[in-house]
A = this chain, B = another copy of it.
Amino acid sequence: MAAQSWLHIPTDSHFSLSNIPFGIITTPDSQVPHPAVAIGTYALDLAVFTENNGFSGLPEFQAHLSVFSQETLNAFAALGQTVHRAVRRYLQSVLTEGSPHAALLQSNSGLRQKVLFPLGDIHNHLPMQIGDYTDFYAGKHHAVNVGTLFRDPKIALQPNYTHLPVGYHGRASSVVVTGTPLVRPSGQILDNPAADPKVPIFSPSRRLDIELELAAFVCKCNKLGAPVPITDAHEAIFGIVLMNDWSARDIQAWEYVPLGPFGSKNFQTTISPWVILADAMAPFMAKGLENESSLLPYLQEKKVDNMYDLELQVNLTSKQSNTKCKGAIQQTITKTTSRNLVWSFPQMLTHHTVTGCPMHVGDLLGSGTISGLDASERGSLLEQTSGGKVSMKLNGGEERKFLEDGDTITMTGWCGESGALVGFGDCTGTILPAVSL
């Protein structure tokens, strides 16, 4: 039986004792963003905890206490996985019934009141200052689905796909934390894509879409010109979040040749608020999708179970359902798993650095859209609606090809057993109408 906390933690909470994910919050007591962990229905304020000698039981961490008075997790991340592991285990001990450190908070109601905030009372902020953000394309079924829509199904995958983690540089400045509303982007689209010559119009996107992804934060730098070998790459992963890489398919279709997606992606990318540490994910590794090519040595991992084993889900709440029923009704539109990836984050990171590209602490690596084989497992509406040709039926008689104003998308993901879940919480955003230029 898993260890129990002296704090009441609902069995369906993503933030069990087995998780202890890190984030950045503001509280009713402090409007300056600062670190915290999520536990059950609470945030444990690490700035206040540290000020009150909360880490007195962790002597080796005394030299680093200032990392918890920073406005991002970058300084903590930079300390490396050994320190992350020690701090996470110490906090687990503090929160565990009957553990050596349990008395610190359990027996000190004054301190408890100062450091534990109901999650509904705090605000989450971006957990890291992101230097560069890169998005990969490691969801093989997604790549096949999209390739089939736009090209011949027989050549759905490009020849490079099974040899290297295809990726592109994304826009760091528009990565936001869950809950940030999304203003429908406007841009150049083709009113009549079949016309010759093609003449664009300026319009709000009519094909606004989601992309269900995992993303990893980097915690280790490498120097310019000094690649990270695959054997060292796992140490450079701080932890993971869920990500919705919102996409405007009509803007994308017109702009993306020959240099790739640009304005169709850079208007907003939403991540979940709490970073699940690499250490917390260690018990939840599985085999991902088989790669058909034999890999070049620099991409070969020793571990067979190199993929995170998370259940993933996307829910849609329409404005209509919200109004009609006097309360939002979330409808699940996708269920899939992160085993549907063909490249691991260490492989992505090594490939990213193999030419000599330097990584910085806080860099963000996206997995690419995660889709399963079945229609109900697809991580984008583009796939679910066969490129906007088939409507997706919603409860209450509504239909969707792409997102409408007022729609709320909520992504979530978890692993582990009831009572010991390790999950992200929500990654959510509501569509606001386009603004005029």
Return chain B residues, CB-CB under 8 Å to A160.
188, 198, 200, 254-255, 257
Contact indicator B296/A357 (Cβ below 8 Å): no
0/1 interface trace, chain A 43-73, chain B, CB 8 Å (1 if under): 0000000000000000000000000000000
Contact indicator B296/A200 (Cβ below 8 Å): yes
Q: Is the interface of A mostly helix, strand, loop or mixed?
A: loop
**Contact check: which of B173, B201, B248 meets A363 at CB < 8 Å?**
B173
Residue of B nearest to A136 (CB): B259
Contact indicator A357/B200 (Cβ below 8 Å): no
Q: A357 and B202 in contact (CB under 8 A), knowing A160-B257, A163-B188, A169-B168? A: no
Contact indicator A358/B224 (Cβ below 8 Å): no
User: In the assembly, what is the distance between CA of A137 and CA of B259, in Å?
Assistant: 9
Return chain B residues, CB-CB under 8 Å to A259.
137, 166-168, 260-261
User: In the assembly, what is the distance between CA of A137 and CA of B174, in Å?
Assistant: 22
Distance of A9 from chain B, by nearest CB (Å): 35
Distance of A353 from chain B, by nearest CB (Å): 9
Interface assignment of A416: CB less than 8 Å from any CB of chain B? no
Return chain B residues, CB-CB under 8 Å to A360.
173
The stretch from A21-29, A81-89, A262-270, A393-401 touching chain B is: A262-270
Contact indicator A251/B355 (Cβ below 8 Å): yes
Q: A224 and B159 in contact (CB under 8 A), knowing A169-B169, A188-B164, A263-B355? A: no
Q: A131 and B169 in contact (CB under 8 A), knowing A163-B188, A437-B229? A: no
Contact indicator A260/B260 (Cβ below 8 Å): yes
Residue of B nearest to A260 (CB): B260
Distance of A402 from chain B, by nearest CB (Å): 15
Interface assignment of A194: CB less than 8 Å from any CB of chain B? no
Number of copies: 2
**Contact check: which of B174, B254, B435 meets A358 at CB < 8 Å?**
B174
0/1 interface trace, chain A 342-374, chain B, CB 8 Å (1 if under): 000000000110111111100100000000000
Residue of B nearest to A261 (CB): B259
Interface assignment of A34: CB less than 8 Å from any CB of chain B? no
User: Which chain A residues (172-186) contact chain B, with CB distance < 8 Å?
Assistant: 172-174, 176, 180, 182-183, 185-186
Interface assignment of A197: CB less than 8 Å from any CB of chain B? yes
Distance of A191 from chain B, by nearest CB (Å): 12
Interface assignment of A171: CB less than 8 Å from any CB of chain B? yes
Interface assignment of A406: CB less than 8 Å from any CB of chain B? no
Contact indicator A437/B164 (Cβ below 8 Å): no
User: In the assembly, what is the distance between CA of A167 and CA of B4, in Å?
Assistant: 53
Interface assignment of A258: CB less than 8 Å from any CB of chain B? yes
The 5 closest A-B pairs by CB, nearest first: A260-B260, A183-B225, A185-B355, A168-B259, A169-B169
Interface contacts beyond A166-B258, A168-B260: sample of 15 additional A-B pairs, CB < 8 Å, sorted by A: A147-B258, A160-B257, A168-B262, A183-B225, A186-B355, A187-B354, A199-B293, A201-B296, A224-B268, A226-B435, A248-B355, A263-B352, A267-B355, A267-B356, A354-B437
A-B contact list, 13 entries, CB within 8 Å: A147-B258, A163-B200, A166-B262, A180-B224, A185-B356, A202-B296, A227-B437, A258-B260, A259-B260, A260-B261, A263-B351, A263-B354, A267-B355
